[in-house]
Structure 1
Amino acid sequence: MHLEVLNAVRALFAAYPGRYWIAGGWALDLFADRVRRPHTDVDVLVLARDLDLVAATFTDPRPTVENPNTGDQRPWEPGETLKPGPDVLAFPDDLFAAPVRIILAASDGDDWIYHRGRGTIRKPLDEITLTTTDGIPYLAPELVLLFKSRSDRPKDTDDFNDVAANLDPTRRAWLHDHIAPRHPNHPWLPALA
């Protein structure tokens, strides 16, 4: 089920000593154990605190900083502070079958922190980590869907509708409990209740 691009990402990160996760739509595909839709890129989540490891591992080519809204890219200098959320690192698009982007996660000790939750939404790193039978780490679906819940893009709604029934009660409750306080009328809540 892992297409060429995911195997290329695993090879790219083979020498990376930090934790990483396939994120976004591909993570939901790995959770569902099938390719559910076409993807335009691959998002890889790393901890922002590990940027020095990213800089030491990926030297040729070095990723650039990409504005996720415009796609504009600029050089990234190791040691430069980047923030979870607005800052994305991008590898040259022609290296892989699909563009590979590094998104940054906030963390505190052994906890992942949702950068939009003012530090109040967190989960142990071990709980956010799922792994395929052949060793590809990917982000737990409730976290991917939490990120996607902020958008009203049709693909995000389709992703939710396609995967929500496969969430166990614990994942379903966690997602519900972290969407409802901020968006009490969110259209996904009835399916999660």
Structure 2
Amino acid sequence: MNSLSFVQAYFADYPARYWIAGGWALDLFVDRVRRPHTDVDVLVLARDLDRVAETFTDPRPTVENPNTGEQRPWEPGEPLTPGPDVLAFPDDLFPAPLRIILAASDDTDWIYHRGRGTVRKPLDEITLASSDGIPYLAPEIVLLFKSRSDRPKDTEDFHDVATHLDPHRRTWLHDHIAPRHPNHAWLPALT
């Protein structure tokens, strides 16, 4: 996955946890590029925004509206919210556009920002690493995010990866989709 080496190099001096997220994380999990990607999503903890500001100064990322793509300046110290707020670097800075997605956390747990604090998992459990040492988000977490959408690429991602999930990951994903979406199309493949 040499195409992600630019992220690993760019984050080399970042003093906190980060994870490759989205479709690239699923590719790292199955150890192959399954489809083309338009960007690279990197997850960081919202509580580490000061570290993001200290590390990435030139250029400083901007705040991007994920629905419209509209960007505005981001000032260090400005609070941002996991979910709606995304940080973006200039698209021509890297081989692929790089976006920073913010995650809620509580001490040693990742918290799903849409789960009202009830869906959580230890940070160590959501962290996997490629053979090159690139940290990436566990597939059940990526797929939980993707389960909210009916985009064809998200459904394709699920079907490409579902057979690779061990029983623990399958059960966890099933148990966190079913309460919110009891008729979700992915549930039969997770039982």
Give the TM-score band, short-chain normalised. over 0.9
1:1-193 paired onto structure 2 within 5 Å: 2-4=1-3, 6-193=4-191
Structure 2, unpaired ranges of 5+? none
Deviation at 1:177, TM superposition (A): 0.1
Secondary structure of 1:9's counterpart equals helix
Secondary structure of 2:114's counterpart equals coil
Separation (CA, whole Å) in 1 of partners of 2:33 and 2:100 = 21
Secondary structure of 2:63's counterpart equals strand
Structure 1, unpaired ranges of 5+? none
TM-score, normalised on structure 1?
0.98
Alignment identity in percent? 83
Deviation at 1:9, TM superposition (A): 0.5
TM-score, normalised on structure 2?
0.99
Alignment length, in residue pairs?
191
- C-alpha offsets along residues 148-176 of structure 1, whole Å, 9 cap, x if unaligned? 00000000000000000000000000000
Deviation at 1:3, TM superposition (A): 2.9
Give 1:94's aligned amino acid. D
